[in-house]
Amino acid sequence: MSAHDDRMKAMLYERPSLIPIGVSILPAAWKLHRERIDAIVAAHPAIFGPHNATRDFDAVSETYTEGEHIDAWGCVWSNLKTGMESIVTGHPVPTRESVHRLKAPDKDIGFRHGFMFLRLTDLRGFEEMMVDFAEEPPELQMLLDIVLEYNLRQARILLKGLTDAEPRLVYFGDDLGMQHSLPMNPVTWRKYLKPCFARIYRPIRDAGHYVYMHTDGHILEIIPDLVDAGVNVVNPQIRANGLDNLVRVCKGKVCLNLDLDRQMFPFCTPADIDAHIREVVQKLGSKDGGLWLSAEVGPDVPLANVEAICGALEKYRSYYA
User: Percentage of the chain with pLDDT > 90?
Assistant: 97
Give tens-digit pLDDT for 188-218: 999 999 999 999 999 999 999 999 999 999 9
Q: Given pLDDT bands bounded at 50, 70 and 90, which one contains residue 1?
A: confident
Side-chain-facing half-sphere of 93: CA atoms under 13 Å: 27
Q: What is the mean pLDDT of the chain?
A: 97
Is the per-residue pLDDT at 303 higher than 90? yes
Question: CA 195 to CA 229: how far, in whole Å?
Answer: 8
Q: What is the pLDDT of residues 31-89, one digit of tens each?
A: 999 999 999 999 999 999 999 989 999 999 889 999 999 999 999 999 999 999 999 99
What is the predicted pLDDT for the residue at 163? 82
pTM of the model: 0.96
Over its C-alpha atoms, the chain yields an Rg (Å, rounded) of: 20
The neighbour count for residue 126, using CB atoms within 10 Å, is 14
SS (H, E, C) the chain: CCHHHHHHHHHCCCCCCCCCEEEEECHHHHHHHCHHHHHHHHCCHHHHCCCCCCCCCCCCCHHHCCEEEECCCCCEEEECCCCCCCEEEECCCCCHHHHCCCCCCCCCCCCCCCCCHHHHHHHHCHHHHHHHHHHCCHHHHHHHHHHHHHHHHHHHHHHHHCCCCCCCEEEEECCCCCCCCCCCCHHHHHHHCHHHHHHHHHHHHHCCCEEEEECCCCCHHHHHHHHHCCCCEEECEHHHHCHHHHHHHHCCCCEEEEECCCCCCCCCCHHHHHHHHHHHHHHHCCCCCCEEEEEEECCCCCHHHHHHHHHHHHHHCCCCC
pLDDT in tens, 149-182: 999 999 999 999 998 778 999 999 999 999 999 9
State residue 164's pLDDT score: 78
Section 114-126 average pLDDT: 98
Percentage of the residues of the chain whose pLDDT score is greater than 70:
100
Contacts of 189 (CB under 8 A, 6+ apart): 176, 182, 222, 225
pLDDT at 165: 76
